[in-house]
Amino acid sequence: MFYRAAGQFKTSYRADQALFPVRQDAMLLGFILILAWVVFPLTASEFAFQTLLIPILIYSLAALGLNILTGYAGQLSLGTAAFMGVGAYACYKMVTLMPWMSPVVAILLSGVFSAGIGVVFGIPSLRIKGFYLAIATLAAQFFLVWLFEKWAWLYNYNASGAIQVPNLQSFGVYVSGPQATSMVQYYVVLAVVTLLTWVCINLTRGTTGRIWKATRDMDFAAELIGINLMKSKLGAFAVSSYIVGVAGALFVFMWRGAAEPNLFDVPLSFRILFIAIIGGLGSILGNYLGAILIVGLPVILGVLPEVLGMQTDSALAEHLNTMIVGALIIFFLIVEPHGLAQLWRLIREKLVIWPFPH
């Protein structure tokens, strides 16, 4: 049908390994980019920006960072929110200590601090894995949140213990703070997410990605063929923590506008983990599909009763959201461990060979 691949022959190994094996894949991506860069900014309301578009992109980026570590390198982590907090507080300190620095540059640099902390807490992965590593990263979660609360220097000794995002400009345009518009913040988030997604695609499809997958599938066999496990695991922690740290800076500076230490508590870590699981571990696309579902589901449950003329309260919608997300996690873990990304692959394969059944 629309995905028919007749006449698209591969004449070299490079063509066979291309990112878009079928021409329609590139066309679909181009269509999505046009929607993201042109259509949505021109048509979206303030509600759509703040409730759907910006949070979907930020959660997708955070899940992408976790997926690098858990989905590709096989290192389970439950401390994602804490590393987001490191990025947020690092960005806040940079823009307050160096007001001349562009906020976009500060956001990108904030991930470096998160990467350094991630490597430190990733050292236990050299000796332990699985459930025990998850407990170690959970300990890092509790320690870092405690540090955010007790180290007053991080929030400039504010009596409230919270950080407030100041009005910051880049090229004469406010990109953060109360004076920044949602459209500008959306474009900043979209640009950063697009850049880091492109980097991750290249990493996972190259030598680094193959090393991570070998480490994930059987680490002692990977070591026997010459892979440096310390470099592989700590490298995955560094890349993952960098992406998560940048997501944390975007989370506060481009969306929330303020943050307290408990914002980066365990529930946020689990929410990002749920996005990665439902979207599909070991997949770039899955992070976006999972974020669309997790972020969009509460909005749908809040609006749908009004459309159907039903009387419901917000508490019921919240309970329904929790039940549906829990059911989806169980469903995907049992029926389709590779998540929504695998469902899309199956649909795409059917479209490519249509109208033939096999």
For the chain, domain boundaries: 45-353
C-beta separation of 167 from 35 below 8 A: no
The whole-model pTM stands at 0.92
C-beta separation of 272 from 294 below 8 A: no
Assigned token pair, 208: 């680094």
Tell me the one-letter amino acid at 116: G
Q: Is the dihedral of CA 86, 191, 259, 97 positive or negative?
A: positive
Q: Find out whether the peptide bond into 355 is cis, omega within 30 degrees of 0.
A: yes
pLDDT string in tens for the chain (358-residue length): 566 666 676 777 776 677 777 777 788 889 999 999 999 999 999 999 999 999 999 999 999 999 999 999 999 999 999 999 999 999 999 999 998 899 999 999 999 999 999 999 999 888 888 888 999 999 999 999 999 999 999 988 887 888 999 998 888 899 998 899 999 999 999 999 999 999 999 999 989 999 999 999 888 898 888 899 999 999 999 999 999 999 999 999 999 989 999 999 999 999 999 999 999 999 999 999 999 999 988 888 777 777 777 777 777 777 788 888 888 888 888 888 888 998 888 888 777 777 666 5
| Distance, CA of 261 to CA of 245 (rounded, Å) | 15
CATH 1.10.3470, applies to 45-353: yes
| Distance, CA of 138 to CA of 281 (rounded, Å) | 20
| Beta-sheet pairing, 258-259 with 173-176 | unpaired
Give the residue from 113, 120, 101 showing the smallest Cα distance to 154: 113
Q: Is the dihedral of CA 259, 262, 266, 268 positive or negative?
A: negative
C-beta separation of 240 from 264 below 8 A: no
Longest dimension (CA), the chain: 68
- pLDDT in the model for residue 300: 81
Phi, psi for 201 (deg, rounded to 5): -60, -45
C-beta separation of 249 from 256 below 8 A: no
